[in-house]
Structure 1
Amino acid sequence: MINTLIGDIGHTSVIVAFVAAIVSSYAYFMASRAKVELSGDDSWRKMGRWSFYVHSVAVMMIIFTLFNIIYEHRYEYYYAWSHSSNHLPVHYMISSFWEGQEGSFLLWIFWHVVLGVVLINSSKKNKVWEAPVMGMFSFVQLFLTSMILGIVIGDLKIGSSPFILMRDFMPDTPVFAMDPNFVPADGTGLNPLLQNIWMVIHPPTLFLGFAATLVPFAFAMAGLWKGKFHEWIKPALPWSHFAAVSLGIGTVMGAYWAYVTLNFGGYWNWDPVENAVYIPWLVLVGAIHTMIAYNRGKSGLKASFILIISSFILILYATFLTRSGILGNASVHSFTDLGLSGQLFTYLAAFAVLAIGLLLYRWKSIPTSDKELTTYSGEFWVFIGAIVLCLAAFQVLFTTSIPVYNSFLGFIGIESNAALPADQIEHYTKFQLWGGVAIAVLTGVGQLLWWRKGEKGSFVDAITLPSMLTLLFASLIIVLSKMGMLHETMDNPIFIILLVASLFAVFANMSIILSLLHKKITLSGGAVAHIGVALMLLGILFSSGYDNIISQNNSGLVYSREFPEEINRDNVLLWRNTAVDMDRYSVSYHGQFQEVIGVPGYVNRELLWPTADPYTSIARGQIKVGDKVYFETGDTLAMYSPENTFYEVQYKEREGDRTFTLYPRAQVNPNMGLLASPDIKHFANMDLYTHVSSIPDPNEEKDWGDLQEYELAVGDTIILNDYVAVFNGVEQIAQVPGVALEEGDVAVQADLKIYGERKDYHAHPVLMVKNQLMGRVPEEIADLGLRLTFLNIDTENNKFKIGVNTSQKDYIILKAVEKPFVNILWIGTIVMSVGFVMAIVRRKDGGAKARPAAPKEKRKVQAA
């Protein structure tokens, strides 16, 4: 009998959270009215606060119940069945929690709850912001909670519940017609590409960034609503930094996941889902700069409103893009449509109309400065930088939204077949590269002018040393590349310009840090962040602009006419145990390995006897690493992920002593084809990125040659597929892996020693009599392309008949790419994040004192 109690608790909690969000948003709205504030009545605010607490408790209960359904393998619920399975470790169960749309919405809701509680408690000393800010928070929660409500009223569907039963989700399935209480024995499991540790930490970090963008948006809306047009900047600025660093780190984590998991050979593919996160981050960073400019010079307030509002609306637009199904085949990892596209559009439209309408209504009341920005003022270059960031975001937004244009035109009856660029990487890069150049130059020039007096002479003095160092180091790098001391000659003028601009940004900001050392260290947070950005640009320049495919096919052979040209051209064919020269390496493939629970590293498949349960194997010999024995022959082993195979690839420098081994992973998925993940050898100056492009189909029966029979006596020597083999005899065995021997059953195994090129092999084909029937368990040696079968025993002549089939040896087709100086990209990310954190600490402590406003500005503010 199906137990629906846990699901009922979860669904009830969703309803409670939804109602509590309605009550909280209404109560906070009432508390924000002018007459309530003037009367000193605190009852509405307290109601809003406690309603939000109730909402928070209900959300935690939803999370608990959904994870319980996954953890306890309650496959009567569709969410657990479609995202989890019996053998997932706990950390991947956590990943499966947010693999589906409902779980990802719940993760977003959770972070809003955490941030909301923090805001409520931080507002107790200064209650002026709590009601309007939390009113906006609760209103957003109302919409988000509705996404998991799962209520159908007539033809109207509100949300998709994660607590729906299988029999309700698939009522027409025959098995439920026969047995409504049927529960599957196992789930379909987590997407293999998501079974990576980065998928445990990347989504929560990214969604924290999504959620954190609401905080400055809520302050901006509260400022417009209450007429506090500039007061909102101070409390919103640290939160803006926090949102930017969370969103930035989350995005880079996703890039690193792609780098170590996917096989397109990089960390960024300009996929629409990647773009949908990149766009609001650029706009948010632009907003931070205009807010800082206002803090200092009282200019840029309207721009700050526009950019903060835009960053949040773009987050909602990204949600619509990735979850409505509108991208269709345009993205490799967008969510499918759950029938919520109309609801998502309503969510987006509601806040876009509310925010833009309120901004337009208050536009003339927002104070402006008559101060003229000169070319040598830091604020001027901050605005230029913000404009460049927004232009870069707009270019990506315009192209990414092509499916939206088509859908909209189709909705109004106009047919449109506009397509995304055929080569999206080339399309985006040619624009974004120049944006990177501009940003690098502006981060240097802007910082020098920001911290120096706005005078031409002072600026010339400040820029001289960074410029000289830039020219020196850029020249040195270019000369070294031409001398062959770098991976490739730098002769692309655009890349040279980006190199010079990025180096200038590094040295200019380093000079700022050195000049601020005698002051408060957190003052240099901006300069540190800018150095991080410049290092990221350098890392991208070298790792993407000068990556080097070393696995060129120089054999003159076409591996298969069915393969794309790229595989035939940029990959090497490796026969098992046969070395091939590849660039400066001698490379060889040495077999298939798997992960065994309790054994570090990987175990050779030759030592694993499969059983009917794919997650269980039997040891065919000692399993040991170094001198430590982990399992003895005949022990039962638990497999970690039997669908994954790791291919041992050994690299040896042809003109050196360096040798190392990589284990790229691959599996043949019935629904997704070959899923290959790279293994990466990290060096100080580069990464060697190796992945499998093709393997023999493991589901295809091998094409074995005709059976050759040999009658052997103990000690006989024969030639098998060009290898010498010695027959050492037979012995009786008490157990056969995968076969239960009973009293009266007999099993014997032959022992043949085969001398291979690199090592010797022992083959043990089995002959048994079970239930008075003869059975045979052949031995396959994939390294040598041999299958040996113990056919019979001639007891009178003391002879033993062995059958041998030969086949094509095992092979893989491999791609290897050198990624020079990619570590600079990851280091730059860390440095940028440190700079953002320093800025948060500085703003939290009060930040830099703004210069007092001019009398005319004060009169304008009072008049407004």
Structure 2
Amino acid sequence: MIHYFIGDLGHFFVVTSFITAIVSAFTYFKAATSTSPLDGISWKQNGLVSFYAHAISVLGICVTLFIIIANHYFEYHYAYSHSDKKLPAYYLISTFWNGQEGSFLLWMFWHAVLGIVIIHTNKFWEAPVMTVFALVQAFLASMILGAVIPGIDFKIGSSPFILLRDVMQNAPIFISNPEFVPSDGNGLNPLLQNYWMVIHPPTLFLGFASTLVPFSYCIAGLWLKKYHEWVRPALPWALFSAAILGLGILMGGYWAYETLNFGGYWNWDPVENAVYVPWLILVGAIHTMITYKNSETALKASIILVIATFVLILYSTFLTRSGVLGESSVHSFTDLGLSGQLLIYLLFFLFAAIVLCIIRWKEIPSTEKEVATYSREFWIFIGVLVLCLMGFQVLMPTSIPVWNKIVNLFGGESNMAPPTDQVGFYTKFQLWFAVLVAILSGIGQFFWWKKMEPKQLIKEVRGPLLLALIIVVVLLQIIIFQYGTDVVTKPGFLFILLSGVITVTLNSKILLALLKSSPTLSGGSISHIGVGLMLIGIMFSSGYSKVVSLNNTGLIYRREASDEFNRESLLLFVNEPRTMANYKIEFKGERLEARERSGYVNPSDVEFMDDPYMVVAKKDIIYNGKKLYPAKDTFEIFPENRYYEVKLTSQSGKEHRLYPRIQDNPNMGLASSPDIKRDVTRDLYAHVVDRSPQEAEWSKLEEMKISPNKEFFANDYVSVLEKVERISTVGGVKLDSADIAVKAFIRVKGEYQDYVAEPVFIIRNRMIGRIPDEIRDLAIQFTLLNIHPETNEFSIGINTRQKDYIVLKALEKPLINVLWMGTVMLVVGFGVAIVRRYREFQKMKLKGLE
């Protein structure tokens, strides 16, 4: 049965949100341009009501779409494409923004929330700022409108409420049965099945949305000729935006580190770059805005950078959603036919902002004040210039696919290729920019409060610089001891280390002084210390990362693979210990993820039921501290979520378990995710690069006549038939008195432990049945074929196969926790600055100056 009502309701909310956004933009525009105070109040009230109606409609879209996803209404294309029945609730939430339509909706939701906050916190700027807000919302609502203009067949937006049959009109199943509803969906990309993907996208999109606030204040200031008044209310929002957007970027880096298997947290993918560049420009805008507030310089630079930040956010949206990056990025969305609409969205606000700036440019006040070399204004200008150059260096190569498309569109021919080694290409430039930023953020703080002469500057920085040198010398000794002398010959790493330590020591001196006198002013110092710690953490975790899964078996795993692959990949057979990085390492076998109880279960201990997601315990097992009984305790698992238990035993005897994961995905093949052993000084980062085939090829059955308590060989393992006894139940089913069932107990002496196989021979209704039992760890299967009472012997069938194995790659990431500590301090610093600027703004409002 197709649930038409919920889709129709959702589409009604989409249309309503689009119309009310346009109405709100118009009424707020009339309020901002009205010359009559009474008319202005009336228009503003209408704008408020229509924006609230818009916000309620956006919430209605969110609720109806989630109802479709949560209730598995797979007749809708969005639910079918991005979810399935086996996903838990928290991953169902993440499917909400997995598609383009859902991510646009998430963006709209945050804009609606921020718009309501502005309405109730700043009445003076409400009308002009909300005009811009509502106009942006109208554009975003059009992206999910899903309407087609008759006559010209032009599509406006892509609706999340479109039926699957309308997308797949030519599919035979829908031609023969228009009411057909799939029983399950395609599911969520396995790499997105991570808790960080539940919180990372909402945070990142809140960062995107919040860049609209300073942009709207800036446009409102130019529009109303309030050329400098807009800076004060916009500054707290700019700080908030930089903090949230930065946090979202860092969350994405941590998700990549935990989930992807490239061994890092930043890969310079075009989609990563498209978010990184606006953040750099926004940080530069914050510094120029603070400069203007303190000394009335850099107003024009602030206007340019605030506008550039929002335009770059729109440009990044175009890059990632138009399909233009389809061949150069694995993270970009495919083109839903919205590329033209996205381009209009970008160009409208770009040209509107440029035209307004041109009209007002001569009227914008500027200072003729000379900027001295030893003044804060000069050093902030240099720092902002470096940030802009950092962004420009990343933006140009990232935009190569766009350039190719523009040239080809106008009849030319361009086949420029983006950098093949993205990490190497961007790092060699960004490394030196980072060094400059670090040094400037350290020394520049001493010019923050006043102009400083060279002699006084030397006196102030002498102590922290000396301390920095001592720390660097000590760290170099540790590096040489751990990694040898060759690593200290890399000048880039040494400069990163030196600049990071200098930043920390210089800003620590400023921070200690501020904590004694004015703690609320310490936000900048805290953030700059965070930058320094991040650089130190990046230098160690990336520069001195090393592969520790060196092949010490003497075996070449894959002859067609590179020497590097065979040298750095460790082949582990189940329950055969090896040594790796001062650990004894042992592959303990494949595990399945349980749904109802967090944890993992050995597939040998359970039996799959008719429902492919339900299993029952085959024997008494202890699972997560609870005893499970055979044929009684059933629970749900994720059969495609296969983890591989790896036991690490340190030299002191301390044990740790790793569970790297592989998922079978029909569209992506094997999706491998790492697991990490975290220590204070380093991480051990391991992922599975290959595994034994899932479908085992058994050898031809070998039949042997065995007497009880006599040893025999099975696949070169010493085995003994300990006993054969009659049983009354098989698989939890009680047998009748006329039935006969016996179970053999065969003990196999493995290399490291003993195993017991329990094959069953059954006669029921005059028919013979045999239930074999496999010792998975030894790749042996025993079958009780026959009973010979006259000779007291038993016919045992033996099948063998390749033992289970995995191929593991593991790296050590030293001092990576310093990087994460730095990110926390960076965000905390922004938080302190936000609180200070907001309180300052509130005081100005009370005085009637805003």
Shorter-normalised TM range: over 0.9
> SS of 2:366's equivalent?
coil
Q: Find the aligned partners of 1:335 and 1:735 in 2 and give their Cα distance.
A: 56
- Of the candidates 134, 148, 152, which is equivalent to residue 148 of structure 2? 152
Please list, as runs of the form range in 1=range in 2, the aligned pairs for 1:211-230 lying within 5 A after superposition. Answer: 211-230=209-228
Greater displacement, 659-668 / 507-516: 659-668
1:139 equivalent to 2:135? Answer yes
Which whole-Å deviations, capped at 9, do the CAs of 1:828-850 have from their partners, x for residues lacking one? Answer: 01101100000000001117999
Aligned pair in 2 of structure 1 residues 618, 823: CA closer, same or farther (>3 Å)? same
Partner in structure 1 of residue 847 of structure 2? none
Q: Find the aligned partners of 2:668 and 2:536 in 1 and give their Cα distance.
A: 35
Superposed displacement of residue 7, structure 1: 0.6
Q: Find the aligned partners of 1:292 and 1:28 in 2 and give their Cα distance.
A: 29
Greater displacement, 306-315 / 458-467: 458-467
Which whole-Å deviations, capped at 9, do the CAs of 1:780-813 have from their partners, x for residues lacking one? Answer: 2221121222222335544332110122211111
- Of the candidates 770, 784, 798, which is equivalent to residue 776 of structure 1? 770
- TM-score using structure 1 length: 0.94
Greater displacement, 292-301 / 615-624: 615-624
Superposed displacement of residue 744, structure 1: 7.3
Superposed displacement of residue 337, structure 1: 0.9
Amino acid of the structure 1 residue aligned with 2:125? W
Please list, as runs of the form range in 1=range in 2, the aligned pairs for 1:639-718 lying within 5 A after superposition. Answer: 639-653=636-650, 655-698=651-694, 701-718=695-712
Which whole-Å deviations, capped at 9, do the CAs of 1:460-514 have from their partners, x for residues lacking one? Answer: 2211111111111111111232234899853312211111111111111111111
Superposed displacement of residue 595, structure 1: 2.3
Aligned pair in 2 of structure 1 residues 134, 430: CA closer, same or farther (>3 Å)? same
- Of the candidates 489, 492, 513, which is equivalent to residue 491 of structure 1? 489
Q: Find the aligned partners of 2:22 and 2:726 in 1 and give their Cα distance.
A: 76
Greater displacement, 202-211 / 556-565: 556-565
- Of the candidates 312, 315, 336, which is equivalent to residue 314 of structure 1? 312
Partner in structure 1 of residue 99 of structure 2? 100
Q: Find the aligned partners of 1:266 and 1:327 in 2 and give their Cα distance.
A: 22
Q: Find the aligned partners of 1:784 and 1:93 in 2 and give their Cα distance.
A: 39
Q: Find the aligned partners of 1:744 and 1:488 in 2 and give their Cα distance.
A: 79
Which whole-Å deviations, capped at 9, do the CAs of 1:419-447 have from their partners, x for residues lacking one? Answer: 11111100000000001100000001111
> What's the Cα RMSD here?
2.2
Partner in structure 1 of residue 30 of structure 2? 30
Please list, as runs of the form range in 1=range in 2, the aligned pairs for 1:313-332 lying within 5 A after superposition. Answer: 313-332=311-330
> SS of 2:784's equivalent?
strand
Report if the CA contact (8 A) 1:487-1:546 is conserved.
no
Partner in structure 2 of residue 186 of structure 1? 184
- Of the candidates 834, 838, 842, which is equivalent to residue 836 of structure 2? 842
> SS of 1:425's equivalent?
helix
- Of the candidates 517, 521, 524, which is equivalent to residue 522 of structure 2? 524
Superposed displacement of residue 582, structure 1: 2.4
Partner in structure 2 of residue 61 of structure 1? 60
Aligned pair in 2 of structure 1 residues 7, 565: CA closer, same or farther (>3 Å)? farther
Report if the CA contact (8 A) 2:374-2:453 is conserved.
yes
Q: Find the aligned partners of 2:748 and 2:128 in 1 and give their Cα distance.
A: 80
Aligned pair in 2 of structure 1 residues 218, 586: CA closer, same or farther (>3 Å)? same
Please list, as runs of the form range in 1=range in 2, the aligned pairs for 1:456-495 lying within 5 A after superposition. Answer: 456-484=454-482, 489-495=487-493
> SS of 2:794's equivalent?
strand
Which whole-Å deviations, capped at 9, do the CAs of 1:139-194 have from their partners, x for residues lacking one? Answer: 00000001110111231000111111111121111111121111111111111111
Q: Find the aligned partners of 2:571 and 2:76 in 1 and give their Cα distance.
A: 46
Report if the CA contact (8 A) 1:567-1:693 is conserved.
no
Amino acid of the structure 2 residue aligned with 1:757? E
Report if the CA contact (8 A) 2:645-2:658 is conserved.
yes
Q: Find the aligned partners of 1:741 and 1:168 in 2 and give their Cα distance.
A: 54
Amino acid of the structure 2 residue aligned with 1:682? R
Partner in structure 1 of residue 780 of structure 2? 786
Number of residue equivalences = 842
1:823 equivalent to 2:822? Answer no
Partner in structure 1 of residue 751 of structure 2? 757
Please list, as runs of the form range in 1=range in 2, the aligned pairs for 1:10-21 lying within 5 A after superposition. Answer: 10-21=10-21
Partner in structure 1 of residue 256 of structure 2? 258
Aligned pair in 2 of structure 1 residues 523, 755: CA closer, same or farther (>3 Å)? same
Structure 1 gaps of 5+ residues are 851-864
Q: Find the aligned partners of 1:269 and 1:739 in 2 and give their Cα distance.
A: 56
Aligned pair in 2 of structure 1 residues 98, 744: CA closer, same or farther (>3 Å)? farther
> SS of 1:644's equivalent?
strand
- TM-score using structure 2 length: 0.95
Report if the CA contact (8 A) 2:595-2:638 is conserved.
no
Aligned pair in 2 of structure 1 residues 816, 606: CA closer, same or farther (>3 Å)? same
Q: Find the aligned partners of 1:591 and 1:296 in 2 and give their Cα distance.
A: 64
Please list, as runs of the form range in 1=range in 2, the aligned pairs for 1:711-730 lying within 5 A after superposition. Answer: 711-730=705-724
Q: Find the aligned partners of 2:756 and 2:240 in 1 and give their Cα distance.
A: 61
Aligned pair in 2 of structure 1 residues 600, 70: CA closer, same or farther (>3 Å)? closer
- Of the candidates 124, 130, 155, which is equivalent to residue 128 of structure 1? 124
Aligned pair in 2 of structure 1 residues 109, 784: CA closer, same or farther (>3 Å)? same
Please list, as runs of the form range in 1=range in 2, the aligned pairs for 1:75-474 lying within 5 A after superposition. Answer: 75-123=74-122, 127-154=123-150, 155-474=153-472
Aligned pair in 2 of structure 1 residues 772, 79: CA closer, same or farther (>3 Å)? farther
Q: Find the aligned partners of 2:397 and 2:550 in 1 and give their Cα distance.
A: 34
Superposed displacement of residue 360, structure 1: 1.6
Which whole-Å deviations, capped at 9, do the CAs of 1:238-279 have from their partners, x for residues lacking one? Answer: 000000010000011011011011100001111111111111
4+ long deviations beyond 6 Å: 485-488, 738-745, 847-850
Amino acid of the structure 1 residue aligned with 2:69? I
Aligned pair in 2 of structure 1 residues 64, 402: CA closer, same or farther (>3 Å)? same
Aligned pair in 2 of structure 1 residues 741, 399: CA closer, same or farther (>3 Å)? farther
Structure 2 gaps of 5+ residues are 845-850
Aligned pair in 2 of structure 1 residues 82, 733: CA closer, same or farther (>3 Å)? farther
Aligned pair in 2 of structure 1 residues 423, 782: CA closer, same or farther (>3 Å)? same
Q: Find the aligned partners of 2:325 and 2:483 in 1 and give their Cα distance.
A: 45
> SS of 2:745's equivalent?
strand
Amino acid of the structure 2 residue aligned with 1:316? L
Aligned pair in 2 of structure 1 residues 403, 771: CA closer, same or farther (>3 Å)? farther
Aligned pair in 2 of structure 1 residues 54, 650: CA closer, same or farther (>3 Å)? same
Report if the CA contact (8 A) 2:785-2:796 is conserved.
yes
Identity of aligned residues (%): 52
Amino acid of the structure 2 residue aligned with 1:45? K
Q: Find the aligned partners of 1:732 and 1:181 in 2 and give their Cα distance.
A: 55
Q: Find the aligned partners of 1:772 and 1:376 in 2 and give their Cα distance.
A: 101
> SS of 1:421's equivalent?
coil
Q: Find the aligned partners of 2:510 and 2:843 in 1 and give their Cα distance.
A: 19
Q: Find the aligned partners of 2:386 and 2:511 in 1 and give their Cα distance.
A: 24
Q: Find the aligned partners of 2:591 and 2:284 in 1 and give their Cα distance.
A: 49
